[in-house]
Amino acid sequence: MNDIFALFNPDWWMDENNNALQITDALLFLLLSIPVIYLFVCALFSLAKYKNPYPKAKIKHRFLILFNVYRNGKEVIQSIDYFLDTQQYPNDKYAVAIAASQLSEEDIVTLLKMPVNIVVPDKEECTKVYAIQQVMERYAPDEYDMVILFNSDNRIVPTALDLFNDAYYAGCDAIQAHPMTENLTTKIAILNATSEEINNNIFRKGHTRMGLSSALIGSAMAFDFSTFHRICPTLKGQDLSKAIEAAFLKENIYIEYLEEVVCYSKKVESANSYEDERVGWVNTQKSSTFFGLRHLPIAVLKGEWDYANKLFQWILPSRLFLLAYLIGFTIILTALDWQLSFKWYGLIIATVFAFLMALPEGEISKQFRHAFWALPILVFASGISHFKNLFARNRRTKEKAGKEQKTKKRRK
């Protein structure tokens, strides 16, 4: 008992004969050095200039363009109109389908007047994975050559199908386009856009320069149709991109990244919206982390290196949380023993340099300088969403326990 109370005594921590602080410091430093080094190396490789390696294809392949939409029918109507009006690819070589969940009658009537195939899932409340599975059931495995998945607000460049066609002709069976934020209207939206571009450079451009598969984003993804048709029924979970990544990488199918195929979408514009979005992300991240920890050793033993890299990536903390951990531990070590804190400052500097190397160019970069001071709001919103999720989980656990007790009493 005395040893426990000694933990709260500053003299105990500062005792030269006691190495508990040094051991804790070394372990934490080792754990957080791994993601920092990983991000730094990927960011370093992302500095290479992009050059499309694929020559013009000799044939035009057939594409199924699949939009996944929940409730926001007006948005998908605008996106489809834009796609049909701007694409330079022959219109007899592609068809548009919609996984239409919870659309209003007015929106469905409007879509019926357009050259699209509407599939309404047989469940009113369903995940993206289930909605896409419902669409793919309507097609034969050889009906198209590639399928491209879009969200309802996606607006892709006019040369997209031509560039996808060239890459597919060269042998790419899985491709991720370049997601980019369209609405740079608020500081939060600009910070979101900057974060997305840093992810693009580290986990997509940097990965492909290292010979690793690109990370999927959940939209503007193109896949070999027959392969996706076969894999689609096996997909599980709420996160579409993670489910597809795991399925393709298990089969050693490389995921290419086409930086010049830009796909615009809208991001949240307020701290409250960002907080709500992060709550869902935290829930998904937890399951991904445990999944990665369970399956990473097996993937390494099997030599599935792309899959192992993806599992390792899922284990890593988010960039905001990583930076928050580093700053927090640095402050604590500086207060307890400033001589131990120097390496932590070095780790923070390395992390910042990694982010600087991965910063985007162009308009987003210019506006980021003016929006930088809103970053604490974003960090605070991340923290709030994290604790909000913890409290919500505890409340759900208590409610479940209460219901079980009531059920037992009724049975008695």
**CA separation for the pair 328, 186 (Å, rounded):** 28
pLDDT at 238: 81
Q: Which domain holds residue 90?
A: 63-270
Q: Is the pLDDT of residue 8 over 80?
A: no
Q: Residue 176: what are its φ and ψ, rounded to 5°?
A: -110, 125
Beta bridge partners of 98: 67, 118
Q: Is 13 among the domain residues?
A: no
Q: Which residues of 217-234 are buried (b: 16+ CB within 10 A; e: fewer)?
A: bbbbbbbbbbbbbebbee
Q: Is 360 among the domain residues?
A: no
Could you give the strand order of the β-sheet that contains 63-70, starting from the edge strand earlier in sequence?
A: 116-119, 94-101, 63-70, 146-151, 221-224, 174-181, 256-265, 155-156
Instruction: List pLDDT tens digits, range 212-245.
Output: 999 998 889 999 999 999 999 999 888 888 899 9
Instruction: List pLDDT tens digits, range 81-127.
Output: 999 999 999 999 999 999 988 788 888 888 889 999 998 888 777 88
Q: What value does the CA radius of gyration of the chain take, rounded to a whole number of Å?
A: 24
The percentage of residues in the chain with a pLDDT greater than 90, rounded to a whole number, is 41
Task: Tell me how many domains the chain contains.
Answer: 1
Q: Is the pLDDT of residue 17 over 70?
A: no
Q: Is 310 among the domain residues?
A: no
Instruction: List pLDDT tens digits, range 31-81.
Output: 999 999 999 999 999 998 888 889 999 999 999 999 988 777 788 999 999
Instruction: List pLDDT tens digits, range 69-79.
Output: 877 778 899 99
Tokens in use for 15?
């005792």
pLDDT at 323: 85
pLDDT at 339: 84
Q: Which CATH number characterizes residue 260's domain?
A: 3.90.550.10
Q: Is 20 among the domain residues?
A: no
**CA separation for the pair 184, 191 (Å, rounded):** 9
Q: Is the pLDDT of residue 384 over 80?
A: no
Give the number of other CB atoms < 10 A from CB of residue 140.
9
pTM value?
0.82
End-to-end CA distance of the chain: 43
Q: Is 325 among the domain residues?
A: no
**CA separation for the pair 117, 226 (Å, rounded):** 19
Q: Is 191 among the domain residues?
A: yes
Instruction: List pLDDT tens digits, range 342-382.
Output: 899 999 999 989 988 888 776 565 666 555 555 565 555 55
Closest CA to 79 of 265, 206, 230: 265
Q: Is 243 among the domain residues?
A: yes
